[in-house]
């Protein structure tokens, strides 16, 4: 016996020396015939709310076959965490689940690993993987089942069931037909509710969405209610006026009905007469819009809209006039040097200027005085005689008058009328006289 004791002590001391770790009781002693070799295994951790009496060296099984063992148990917060080693050749997904089960009613506890019921991962369970608390569980203990059964049999649920049965018999005695009718009605009601469950669920979801929306917009709703108070007060104060307005609208409707009834035939005739106009407008098509655009700016072109801005106009006009366009074919205007404008002869003091003198003094054949002279044959003859004098040959009026070929005075009157009409941009009848051009008798 002393030799055996010494051998055991030597083995323990050797184990301690070889492990170079702290000694944690009998669980640290090497046992022969282990289920898995640590060098040919992976390490997996799992968290449990309750591990019952699972201890290190407890087996780890897959399909009731031992594939590993528990190596460590520790507390993490308010739940437990176990570390186990599992053979490398075990084929499990990395989202495997773990449960604590018993071999038999009185047998030892073990950790069972198995794939999840659905949604198994394509990745394999590997070294260092962790099984979370949501994927672990345990079976009920025999003690828990026997305790619940004891509570049920010892004056608990069974006694209460007897009392409930007696009271139900008393309540149903003599009312069997009514109860049968009630149950049939309940069957119909439940069947109808079952048929309408889809609509009921949608209605409840709609109410839920409405409630959520109202909850999000409660500040807006409360603000609207606060604003509605004064508005309702105003409506209450204006109650009599609103009633009077509605009464007036009622009378207006009656009068309007009579007017429409009386004018119905005329209105229909007016619409019938309007139909050709609308038809022609429709036939105008795309041509109508440009016409309306031009109508707005008539008699000016569309570009004139850029000239007038508010109460003022801003533009510059350049007119290129070629007198040869207004002379008879073959008539040319001599190239005369442009002299300095002569200073008109001033009449003696007290002398009244004649129309011919006023025309010459204006230096412009389009002036009002020259227009009056050109409108009268006698005054035109007098002007032509004065333009033959040397002191008037450089006058612009005489320059234009002398550039016209020698023609009779009546024809000269018509020629100058056409010339001035073209220069001034006026529209006149064919071969108008100068008198007719400036408002005189032809």
Q: What is the pLDDT of residue 420?
A: 55
Per-residue confidence band for 119, with pLDDT thresholds at 50, 70 and 90: confident
Distance separating alpha carbons of residues 67 and 113, to the nearest angstrom: 10
State pLDDT tens for residues 213-229.
999 998 898 888 888 88
More confident of the two residues 45 and 280: 45
Residues 6 or more apart whose CB falls under 8 angstroms from that of 417 comprise 374, 428, 432, 433, 434, 436, 437
Q: What is the pLDDT of residue 226?
A: 87
Contact 387, 355 (CB under 8 A): no
Candidate from 89-93, 159-163, 296-300, 380-384 with smallest mean pLDDT: 296-300
Q: What is the pLDDT of residue 6?
A: 56
Most confident of the following: 10-14, 45-49, 158-162, 280-284: 45-49
* Span 146-169, average pLDDT: 73
- Give me the percent of the chain exceeding a pLDDT of 70: 67
Residue showing tokens 């031009």:
294
Phi, psi dihedrals of residue 5, rounded to the nearest 5°: -65, -45
Phi, psi dihedrals of residue 319, rounded to the nearest 5°: -115, 125
Per-residue confidence band for 243, with pLDDT thresholds at 50, 70 and 90: very high
- Give me the percent of the chain exceeding a pLDDT of 90: 20
């Amino acid at each position: 016996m002393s030799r055996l004791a010494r051998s055991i002590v030597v083995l323990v001391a050797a184990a301690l020396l070889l492990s170079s770790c702290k000694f944690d009781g009998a669980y640290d002693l090497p046992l022969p015939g282990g289920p898995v070799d640590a060098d040919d295994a992976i390490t997996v951790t799992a968290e449990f709310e309750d591990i019952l009496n699972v201890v290190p060296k407890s087996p780890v099984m897959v399909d009731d076959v031992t594939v590993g063992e528990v190596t460590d148990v520790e507390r993490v917060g308010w739940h437990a965490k176990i570390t186990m080693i599992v053979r490398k050749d075990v084929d499990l997904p990395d989202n495997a689940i773990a449960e604590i089960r018993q071999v038999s009613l009185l047998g030892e506890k073990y950790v069972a690993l198995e794939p999840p019921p659905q949604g198994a991962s394509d990745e394999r369970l590997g070294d260092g993987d962790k099984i979370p608390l949501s994927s672990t569980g345990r079976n009920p203990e025999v003690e828990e089942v026997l305790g619940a059964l004891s509570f049920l049999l010892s004056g608990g649920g069974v006694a209460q069931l007897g009392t409930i049965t007696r009271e139900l018999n008393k309540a149903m005695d003599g009312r069997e037909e009514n109860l049968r009718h009630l149950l049939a009605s309940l069957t119909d009601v439940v069947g109808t509710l079952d048929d309408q469950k889809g609509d009921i669920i949608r209605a409840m979801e709609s109410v839920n969405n409405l409630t959520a929306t109202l909850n999000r917009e409660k500040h807006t709703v409360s603000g609207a209610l606060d604003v509605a108070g004064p508005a309702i007060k105003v409506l209450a104060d204006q109650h009599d006026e609103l009633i009077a307005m509605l009464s007036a609208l009622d009378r207006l409707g009656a009068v309007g009905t009579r007017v429409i009834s009386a004018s119905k035939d005329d209105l229909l005739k007016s619409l019938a007469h309007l139909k050709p106009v609308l038809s022609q407008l429709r036939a105008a098509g795309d041509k109508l819009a440009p016409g309306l655009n031009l109508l707005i700016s008539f008699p000016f072109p569309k570009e004139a809209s850029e000239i007038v801005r508010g109460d003022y106009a801003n533009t510059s006009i350049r007119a290129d006039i070629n007198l040869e366009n207004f002379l008879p074919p073959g008539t040319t205007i001599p190239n005369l040097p442009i002299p300095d404008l002569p200073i008109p002869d001033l009449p003696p003091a007290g002398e009244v200027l004649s129309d011919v003198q006023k025309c010459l003094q204006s230096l412009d054949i389009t002036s009002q005085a020259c227009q009056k002279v050109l409108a009268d044959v006698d005054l035109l003859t007098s002007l032509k005689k004065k333009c033959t004098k040397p002191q008037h040959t450089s006058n612009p009026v005489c320059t234009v008058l002398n550039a016209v070929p020698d023609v009779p005075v009546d024809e000269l009157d018509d020629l100058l009328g056409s010339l001035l009409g073209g220069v001034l941009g006026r529209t006149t009848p064919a071969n108008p006289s100068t008198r007719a051009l400036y408002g005189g008798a032809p």
